[in-house]
Amino acid sequence: MEMNAPRVVLSSVGSDSGKTLVAAAVISILRGKGYKVQPFKIGPDYIDTMYHTAAAGRASRNIDSWIMGEECVRKAFANGMRGADMAIIEGVRGLYEGASPIEDAGSTVHVAKILKAPVVIVLNSQSLTRTAAACILGMRAMDREVRIEGVILNKVSDERHEAKLRQAISYYTGLPVLGVLFRDPSLRIEKRHLGLMTAHENSEAATVISKAAATLERTLEAERLIEIMADTPPIAVPDPEECTDARVRVGVFTDRAFSFHYPDNYECLERAGFEVRRVDSIADGTLGDVSGLLIGGGYPEVFANELEANNALRQEVRKRASEGMPIVGECGGLMYLCRCIRTNGSCNRMAGVFDSEVVMHDRPQGLSYTLLGCIKGNAIADAGDRLRGHEFHYSSVDNLRETEFAFEVLRGKGIGMGREGITAWNALAMYTHMHYLAAPKVVDKLKRACEGYSRQ
């Protein structure tokens, strides 16, 4: 089927251009005009999407061409656009950065071409004038298939600086400057080791977004931007999938400690016949009546004291694992399923499904796309399967002498020694994050495992 959807990609020359704040501000402005705006984030990112969601009042979605492939990108876009009027798509890093220095896969430009979407450059203008035009000319020359249709200037010093930038960009590129954000120390989102502070932890997030939107709205040519978004051809997308009646209940940790989740993953589970039960790892004392458990990523090291204090839940998770209940932990979930987390000399007990220690470090221990080859059948894969995902972690796992691994690492770091995915009973813990829309067999295999457990 074909769909028409006004859309635009907000990209940049590189990271730290202010794309997330500008995207949230644009979303807020358009929402204030009565539009239902669907946000998307290109690349595997859980945190930027939280700010989009706060601005839009709709869950932001991730799309990544390396993990998903082209058809799946279009499917994810179509799923997200249900009930929306238009899409704001924030890019990842610079326009051309991806999995390879010479190919499109995984890059913002690849998604823009798959979705036939125009691009607006968010330009970090600090200390630039004429070079701003050179940056835009270079990005346009790199790939003529990409439609760069305008610029939003960020971190502009003052009105004199703005005038010089406008003159240079107009003279050399002919592109319109669609809006301006002046440099303001209060217009910033705090960072920490995995990126920006999560929106639900940052009490100032709503204030910063609101202020950025109010400031940008003074200069934003909103109607011109909407015209650019509307001037897009239809794209072919897969037909929508029907939902299967829910028959299997699965628990999912969703709280302050475990906040990294893809909305598409919930929908894939529900379409496959899962009923999702949300569990608070800090406040809930029991998992309830579930036949499986998913623990995603987040910041368990930040909330380690609270997680340790919930002894009842930790003990139940270990007991259910020993009984054969399927449990899948990703990154933060891996950390929770191990015996303890060591951070700056302190040690906090976790569930102890795996007799290993997690140690936090000051530098990233894994930051990459991952490609895994299954060497031992488990709750989500059969031997011989290949899975694509991503990892971003500052921790490592110690005491792995007698551990069984589910995967060999064909790309990325994994847990170590070229291996990923430790197993015990029917539990699996790995650093790799999965996007279920790109791996439908994972959901089917998990469902069969949960059904098998529920029949015991």
CA dist., res. 303 & res. 278, Å (int): 18
Q: With beta carbons less than 8 A apart as the criterion, state whether 75 and 437 touch.
A: yes
**DSSP 8-class letter at 240:** P
**DSSP 8-class letter at 150:** E
CA dist., res. 422 & res. 57, Å (int): 38
- Catalytic status, residue 331: yes
Which of 116-138 are b and which e, b meaning 16 or more Cβ less than 10 Å from the residue's Cβ? ebbbbbbbbbeebeeebbebbee
State which H helix or E strand residue 269 sits in: helix 263-271
Beta strand ranges found along 45-130 (DSSP E) = 61-63, 86-90, 119-124
Over the Cα atoms of the chain, what is R_g? 23
Residue 117: both structure tokens together: 């979407």
- Helix axes of 19-32 and 48-56: crossing angle, nearest 10 degrees: 10
Find all residues with CB under 8 Å of 376, minimum gap 6, and list them. 383, 404, 405, 406, 407, 423
Nearest residue to 372 (alpha-carbon basis) of 328, 399, 405, 404: 405
Catalytic residue selected from 331, 338, 374, 450? 331
Dihedral over alpha carbons 96, 102, 103, 105 (to 10 degrees): -60
Residue appearing with tokens 């939280």: 50
CA dist., res. 373 & res. 406, Å (int): 8
3-state secondary structure of 179: strand
Nearest residue to 447 (alpha-carbon basis) of 304, 314, 313, 248: 248
Nearest residue to 153 (alpha-carbon basis) of 128, 129, 124: 124
Active site residues: 331
